[in-house]
Chains A and B, each alone.
Chain A
């Protein structure tokens, strides 16, 4: 039976009405009295030395309040990095300073040099045109392979542009090498994970304000984690204590990772608001977003998969160059390492795994986590090489996967993580059923009759979500804990206010979290209110990324609810003159077991706040609890995806005909929202595989800096999706049994789509193509293969 309320119900989202009626409150919608505006003059050169800089004409322009350069930030810290990687020689990664405004050199197109604060945005822009800036162009490091082979130096302190050179697991190297040398068959694949731009539809914005009466700073910002911004900016950049710095992330229009990081513009408006003693606002335009939001992916890899004669995987070895861009963004160093190397077992019991990752500085925008973050790169690498291996040894790709699936849980992988649960055969069975594998040959023939090549592509994925046990990530170099905090405040009449450190920027937490609390307390969802996104209201928080909100943030809420129930039982026992051990709590009612005596939730809540008849000697009045939940393990969502495509051999155009997903997210609180998350992830993964790509030319010019040049998936590019999450194995170590669903779609879909296209192109013997599979790329491959295919 379909649930209509609480956990498992597709409750309609309560946040929708404000978004649908124009009452959303995003940062750019806010204006403060006396507000000024800032415009950043950014480098139009990838690499250059500042020869001279004269801002006097800009200072004299109409409406200009102050013009800032690097000189104004002497004594102010650089933008910090939140994760330290130790390289294979035991040395810390290279961590060059990332200044708020360029100091002496510019290192990527978009690097901010001058900030003009003026009465209006137009005046700030006009004045920026009057800045006299002379840049001496330097050779730029753009291509990663060239950059590490003696290319131009991005930072003096990083020879060969190496940030780090990392082996994992270091002790497995020799055994993996030997297994690959001696294997019956080794499949080798070189591939590239294309560089992407997250592109949430709301451009970033920041509004800083300073109240000199209270010496209080406030920053409104488009962030996925306001407490993290307060911590990084307060402690490392501006030297402001937490109690003098409030950070608010109100309605935020999507993030996909790009709004996790602390950005220079946030520090600038906070700093400048005090200097000019006026609120200072910045709103990015889209071109600026392309050249200042952290980019994603951008790996160049080689992978080798060794098998025995029966197709059992013996060893996997990969080497990766990972682009860091010009500076280290907040989480950048951990993406190609701990969020990538640890996932290289995939869904398979490959006994020996080794990877080497070299992180490379280039004269490009910093690269950091984008939806999936390291796990899409690992999944793509594994699922492409497995598919290629199946083709090489002449085995059905589904059968080769089945032969190597992990089937016993918990499962300790050779790459540090321990999977708690899963059933990979079940998701595979489910996806083959909903995708109608049986009917594929008929569809292929039908396409062929129309002159089209049809392909069927399968991919599995596993991801480590719900980041993460603090002690573990601390040992791996994280400079923060990764728990979550929640306060549950029961009000005197029994309504509930929940203050969560998770942040919703499209995920629907206001609805989902209310369902969880209402379900646990047996009250109406409407009696629960969710508060998030403001450091002055929420006790603490690590924010929303890595599909962690329900698994970690939701668990913190549950912990607080459990404490509330425990205390309320004591109050109920007192009111009912019964022993606490005899009190049962069900359906919003406390009753004495074995009797018809009971007291309602609201009566207990009122007694807590009007404690006339109350066990004051044993417990305090009030009903409010705060919890910090630190997970015991990652969660491991998994699934199987099938994509069917049609390729037009005359044009190279790929049409996605259908896409089916079978996911195991553990327990599901709101199926409607979960399916929506998968849809969005699939669209982004299909975008990566077919259309999207961030392109720099050799000189470091960003060629894709608008929606005219960067192909965003449109409605007409996508099919409707088939999404199933019935093959579910609950997470074993969090109280809700949930795993996380935000990134799965973007992780599993690129290899499924590429595998489908290569299946379609199999008559031409095309073994691999790098994403994005644009018509020109596909057509050129077909054209080059035609003589060979015709000769057969």
Chain B
């Protein structure tokens, strides 16, 4: 089995995987990062969305071996020092989640949206979320949370990354 190594949430990790092992399986089963969820098997639902080298990726569409050497961010890495990220906090404030299952993917996807578009319209948020399915919220409050997070981030002083 090939050995792979990557950086996940800032920490170097390595493991041995079968060629067919998906990135989401490696995260969940080998690293125990079970916040990334699997909700379908055809890459539609987006519950497994993570950031790979900064861009949102469905971790069920990528082989773990393909992510060898990559920088990966999962939902577990979003809160810093016990404080939730702006996007996470906006989800709580605006009741953008119910059962919580699609939520990690939603948060990661919207985090990426706000990276590429700091001031999205409601229509742009709805269009961006075409790869993330939620069955609980009707998206109403997810959209609200995304727009509120965008406004909050725009109001923040620019932080040195």
Q: Which residues of A contact B75 (CB under 8 A)?
A: 20-22
Binds B, one of A24-32, A270-278, A611-619: A24-32
Which residues of B lie under 8 Å from residue A682 when comparing CB positions?
Answer: 138
State in angstroms the CA–CA spacing of A28 and B38 once bound together: 9
Q: Is the CB of B101 within 8 A of A200?
A: yes
- Say which residue of B42, B84, B139 sits within 8 Å of A715 (CB atoms): B139
Given known A26-B101, A253-B100, A707-B44, contact A20–B107 (CB-CB < 8 A) = yes
Q: Which listed residue, B33, B38, B98, B129, touches A680 by the CB 8 Å rule?
A: B98
Chain B residues with CB below 8 A from A673, complex form: 95
B36, B91, B99, B143, most chain A CB atoms within 10 A: B99
Return chain A residues, CB-CB under 8 Å to B71: none
Task: Give min CB distance, A120 to chain B, whole Å.
Answer: 9
Which chain B residues border A479 with CB–CB below 8 Å? none
Q: Does B93 contact A (CB under 8 A)?
A: yes
Q: Is A732 an interface residue (CB 8 A)?
A: no
A20–B84 touching, CB < 8 Å: yes
Inter-chain CA distance A673–B35, complex, in Å, is: 23
Q: Which B residue's beta carbon lies closest to that of A25?
A: B34
Report the separation of the CA atoms of residues A245 and B39 in the bound assembly, to the nearest whole angstrom.
29
Task: Assess whether A715 is in contact with B98, with CB atoms less than 8 Å apart.
Answer: no
- Asked if B125 is an interface residue, CB under 8 A from chain A, the answer is yes
A712, B135: Cβ atoms closer than 8 Å: yes
Q: Which residues of chain B from 1 to 60 have any CB-CB distance to chain A below 8 Å in the complex?
A: 18, 20, 28, 33-42, 44-45, 47
Q: By the criterion CB–CB under 8 Å, are B99 and A706 in contact? A: no
On whether the beta carbons of A251 and B135 are closer than 8 Å, the reply is: no
Q: Bits for B82-113, please: 1 = Cβ < 8 Å to A, else 0.
A: 00100010011101011111111001000000
The residue that B95 contacts in the complex, of A17, A672, A721, with Cβ under 8 A, is: A672
Question: Least Cβ distance of B87 to chain A in Å?
Answer: 9
Binding stretch for chain B, among A410-418, A501-509, A527-535, A620-628 = A501-509
Measured between alpha carbons, how far is A287 from B42 in the docked complex, in Å?
9
Task: Please judge, given known A-B contacts A22-B74, A707-B45, whether A202 and B138 are in contact too, CB under 8 Å.
Answer: no
CA distance A681 to B42 in the complex (A): 25
Within 8 A of B (CB), among A415-470: none
Query: In the complex, what residues of B have CB within 8 A of residue A17's CB?
Result: 84, 92
Q: Which of A8-16, A91-99, A154-162 contacts B (4 or more CB under 8 A)?
A: A8-16
Structural contact, B45 and A676, CB atoms closer than 8 A: no
Of residues 298 to 351 in A, which have CB atoms within 8 Å of B's CB atoms?
none
CB pair B88–A201 under 8 Å, yes or no, is no
Q: Output the residue of A201, A681, A708 with the most chain B CB within 10 A.
A: A201
Q: Which of B20, B98, B135, B142 is close to A199, meaning CB atoms less than 8 Å apart?
A: B135
Residues from chain B with Cβ under 8 Å of A23 in the complex: 35, 76
Residue of A nearest to B18 (CB): A122
A19-B28 Cα distance, complex, nearest whole Å: 16
Instruction: Evaluate contact between B129 and A716: CB separation under 8 angstroms.
Output: yes
Convert B135-153 into 0s and 1s, putting 1 for each residue whose CB lies closer than 8 angstroms to a CB of A: 1111111111000000000
Contact A254:B42 (CB < 8 A) given known A20-B88, A22-B36, A720-B143: no
Contact with B along A24-57 (1 / 0, CB 8 A): 1010110000000000000000000000000000
Interface residues of A in 528-561 (CB under 8 A from B): none
Closest Cβ neighbor of B125 among chain A residues: A715
Q: Determine the chain B residues whose CB is within 8 A of the CB of A707 once the complex forms.
A: 40, 42, 44-45, 133
Closest-by-CB residue of A relative to B88 is A20
Question: Nearest CB to that of B90 among chain A residues?
Answer: A20
- Residue of A whose beta carbon sits closest to that of B127: A716
Q: Is the CB of B101 within 8 A of A683?
A: no
Q: How far is the CB of A24 from chain B (nearest CB, A)?
A: 5
Q: A201-B47, A286-B42 are in contact. Are A21 and B138 (CB under 8 A)?
A: no
Q: Let me know if A398 is at the binding interface, CB within 8 A.
A: no
Cross-interface CB contact of B88 among A13, A21, A200, cutoff 8 Å? A21
In the bound complex, residues from chain B placing their C-beta under 8 Å from that of A708 are 42, 44
- How close is B1's CB to chain A, nearest CB, in angstroms? 12
Cα of A18 to Cα of B35 in the assembled complex, Å: 9
Of B103, B127, B132, most buried by chain A (CB within 10 Å of CB) is B103
Given A707-B44, A715-B126, is A20 in contact with B91 using a C-beta cutoff of 8 Å? yes
**Chain A residues near B93 (CB, 8 Å)?**
12
Residues of the B chain whose Cβ atoms lie less than 8 Å from the Cβ of A507: 98
Residues in chain A near residue B44, CB distance under 8 A: 706-708, 712
User: Closest Cβ of chain A: how far from B4's Cβ, in Å?
Assistant: 17
Residues of the B chain whose Cβ atoms lie less than 8 Å from the Cβ of A285: 40-41
Check if B97 sits within 8 Å of A201, measured CB to CB: no
B99 near A252 with CB under 8 A, answer: yes
* Cβ A680 vs Cβ B137 within 8 A: yes
Contact A721 B138 (CB under 8 A): yes
Which chain B positions have C-beta within 8 A of A122?
18, 20
Cβ distance B10 to chain A, nearest Cβ, rounded Å: 15
Q: Smallest distance from the beta carbon of B91 to chain A beta carbons, Å?
A: 6
Report Cα–Cα, A17/B44, bound state, in Å. Answer: 25
- A13 proximity list for chain B (CB < 8 A): 92, 95
Question: Which of B45, B104, B139 is within 8 Å of A22, CB to CB?
Answer: B104
Of A16, A201, A251, which is within 8 A of B39 by CB?
A201
Q: Establish whether residues B95 and A200, one from each chain, have CB atoms under 8 Å apart when the complex forms.
A: no
Q: Does A714 belong to the interface (CB within 8 Å)? A: yes
Cβ-based interface call for A734 (8 A): no
By a CB distance below 8 angstroms, the chain B residues around A19 are 97, 99-100, 103-104
Could you tell me the distance in whole angstroms from the C-beta of A614 to the nearest C-beta in chain B?
Answer: 42
Q: How far is the CA of A393 from the CA of B134 in the complex (A)?
A: 42
Q: Which residues of A contact B79 (CB under 8 A)?
A: 20-21
List B contacts of A505 (CB < 8 A): 99
A684 within 8 A of partner (CB)? yes
Q: How far in angstroms is the closest Cβ of chain A from B139?
A: 4
A256 and B74 within 8 A (CB): no
- In the bound complex, residues from chain B placing their C-beta under 8 Å from that of A706 are 40-42, 44
Fill in one digit per residue for A676-689: 1 if any B CB lies within 8 Å of its CB, else 0. 10011111100000
B residues less than 8 Å from A253 (CB atoms): 37, 39, 99-102
For A252, the chain B residues whose CB sits under 8 A away are 99
Q: In the complex, A712→B40 CA distance in Å?
A: 12
Tell whether A112 is near chain B: CB-to-CB under 8 Å: no
User: With A21-B84, A22-B36, A201-B101 given, is the CB distance from A506 to B138 under 8 Å?
Assistant: no
Residues of A with C-beta under 8 A to B102 = 201, 253
- Quote the shortest CB–CB distance from A15 to chain B (angstroms): 7
Which residues of B lie under 8 Å from residue A26 when comparing CB positions?
Answer: 34, 37, 101
Mark out the residues of chain A between 700 and 751 whose CB falls within 8 Å of any chain B CB in the assembled complex.
706-708, 712-716, 718, 720-721, 745
Asked if A676 and B37 make an inter-chain contact with CB atoms under 8 angstroms apart, the answer reads no
Is B34 within 8 A of A29, CB to CB? Answer: yes
Whether the Cβ atoms of A21 and B39 lie closer than 8 Å is no
Whether B99 contacts A683 by the Cβ 8 Å rule is no
Asked if A676 contacts B41 (CB within 8 A), the reply is: no
CA–CA, A252 to B98, complex, Å?
Answer: 10
A-B contact pairs, 30 of them (CB 8 A): A16-B100, A18-B100, A19-B104, A20-B88, A20-B103, A23-B35, A24-B100, A28-B34, A122-B20, A199-B135, A201-B136, A202-B101, A252-B99, A253-B39, A254-B101, A254-B136, A285-B40, A506-B136, A676-B136, A680-B135, A680-B138, A683-B135, A683-B137, A684-B135, A707-B40, A707-B133, A715-B127, A715-B134, A716-B126, A718-B126
Given A22-B35, A22-B36, A684-B138, 11 other A-B residues pairs in contact with their CB atoms under 8 A: A20-B103, A21-B35, A29-B34, A122-B18, A202-B101, A253-B99, A286-B41, A676-B141, A679-B140, A715-B139, A718-B138
Measured CB to CB, the residues of A under 8 A from B are 12-13, 15-24, 26, 28-29, 122, 199-203, 251-254, 256, 285-287, 505-508, 672-673, 675-676, 679-684, 706-708, 712-716, 718, 720-721, 745
Closest 6 CB pairs of A and B: A22-B35, A19-B100, A253-B101, A683-B138, A506-B99, A707-B44
Chain B residues at the A interface, C-beta cutoff of 8 Å: 18, 20, 28, 33-42, 44-45, 47, 74-76, 78-79, 84, 88, 91-93, 95, 97-104, 107, 122-123, 125-127, 129-130, 132-144
